[in-house]
């Protein structure tokens, strides 16, 4: 019997110590393209994903995977006549201690100030409140497709595009975690999709070593700006009671490190039931502080602030003027 064309990729990744290697950028692009087109056997897909994970994520390999995924979803600049997206905001965290997506309020506040914010994601493995549920509480809804996302961006400056809407195939690969028991590199790929070639991006990771990987892939993909930091539950969410170091990739000026100090002496557990009250400016405390600290990171990502102090002050002013003022 002739060998399946996809077996080459599995053999390359898994042939054993001293003989296996990471896929090249082109190999990774071809391999995931085959998977997303349904050209690989399901057994091969599981082996492929787990071998990628076991070997560790390689920047060239991840770049090729992202390119294949972007091609599958039709990623690229908005059509002629549409305004560009200012900030790409992925939401794929799977924290077990989360309650409400406070980062969503930060994104909405930035949109109210005139920036166009595209959030995309999947919260299937989070124990906290999904973004779609929080949107419903706020009287909003997810976008039904790319065209609807652009319409919402025109109307409100914000849109949430679920991964399952962009690509059921990619969402299905993420969902294999239920069968395999482990996340796969598709989680990294999804965070780096940047569906509309935004002017800037902000990204949260759970494990700090992934920061360098995301920045290296962003540079290879030609991203203009990307701010990456360890965030609550792997989301773009900054704990105001803890200092954090954000890493910024800029296509022109290179890489920079920004130290963000704690802005609150201590913080108790936030409460999901206060989500709407905080958005209406009727509640504060730890929840509001979390939103403002996260908003400051977004301002650094877009370039509307260049230092931690300026970002924190600008976040306070933006919130006062556009949300609770």
Q: What is the pLDDT of residues 12-58, one digit of tens each?
A: 999 988 889 999 999 999 999 999 999 999 999 999 999 999 999 99
- The rounded distance, in Å, linking the Cα atoms of 277 and 303 is 29
Contact yes or no for 47/14 (Cβ under 8 A): yes
Q: Containing H/E element for 255?
A: strand 254-260
Per-residue pLDDT for 96 more than 80? Answer: no
pLDDT band for position 126 (cuts 50, 70, 90): confident
What per-residue confidence (pLDDT) applies to 282?
Answer: 86
> CATH fold of 7-73, please?
1.20.970
CATH of 87-322, one of 1.20.1090.10, 3.40.1030.10, 3.40.50.300, 3.30.470.160: 3.40.1030.10
For 280-316, the pLDDT digits (tens) are 988 888 899 999 999 999 999 999 999 999 999 999 9
CA distance 243 to 188: 24
Q: Locate the domains of the chain by residue range.
A: 7-73, 87-322
Cα 157 from Cα 107, distance rounded (Å)? 10
pTM of the prediction?
0.95
**Cα→Cα distances 10→13, 43, 51, 265, Å:** 5, 11, 8, 51
């Amino acid at each position: 019997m002739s060998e399946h064309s996809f077996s080459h990729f599995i053999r390359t990744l898994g042939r054993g110590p001293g003989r296996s290697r990471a896929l090249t950028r082109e190999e990774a692009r071809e391999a995931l393209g085959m998977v997303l087109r349904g050209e690989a056997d399901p057994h091969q897909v599981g082996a492929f994903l787990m071998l990628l994970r076991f070997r560790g994520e390689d920047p060239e390999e991840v770049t090729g995977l992202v390119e294949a995924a972007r091609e599958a979803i039709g990623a690229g600049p908005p059509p002629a006549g549409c305004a560009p997206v200012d900030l790409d905001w992925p939401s794929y965290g799977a924290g077990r201690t989360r309650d409400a997506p406070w980062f969503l309020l930060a994104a909405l506040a930035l949109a109210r100030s005139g920036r166009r914010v595209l959030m995309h994601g999947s919260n299937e493995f989070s124990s906290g409140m999904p973004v779609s549920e929080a949107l419903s509480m706020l009287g909003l809804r997810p976008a039904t497709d790319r065209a609807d996302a652009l319409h919402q961006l025109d109307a409100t400056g914000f849109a949430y595009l679920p991964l399952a809407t962009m690509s059921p195939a990619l969402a299905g690969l993420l969902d294999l975690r239920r069968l395999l028991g482990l996340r796969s590199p598709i989680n990294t790929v999804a965070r780096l999709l940047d569906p509309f070639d935004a002017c800037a991006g902000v990204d949260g990771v759970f494990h700090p070593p992934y920061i360098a990987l995301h920045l290296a892939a962003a540079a290879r993909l030609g991203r203009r700006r990307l701010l990456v930091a360890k965030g609550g539950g792997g989301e773009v969410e900054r704990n105001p009671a803890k200092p954090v170091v954000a890493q910024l990739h800029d296509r022109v000026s290179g890489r920079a490190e920004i130290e963000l100090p704690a802005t609150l002496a201590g913080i108790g557990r936030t409460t999901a039931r206060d989500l709407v009250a905080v958005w209406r400016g009727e509640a504060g405390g730890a929840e509001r502080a979390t939103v403002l600290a996260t908003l400051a990171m977004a301002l650094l990502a877009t370039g509307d602030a260049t230092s931690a102090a300026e970002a924190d002050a600008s976040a306070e002013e933006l919130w006062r003027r556009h949300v609770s003022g």
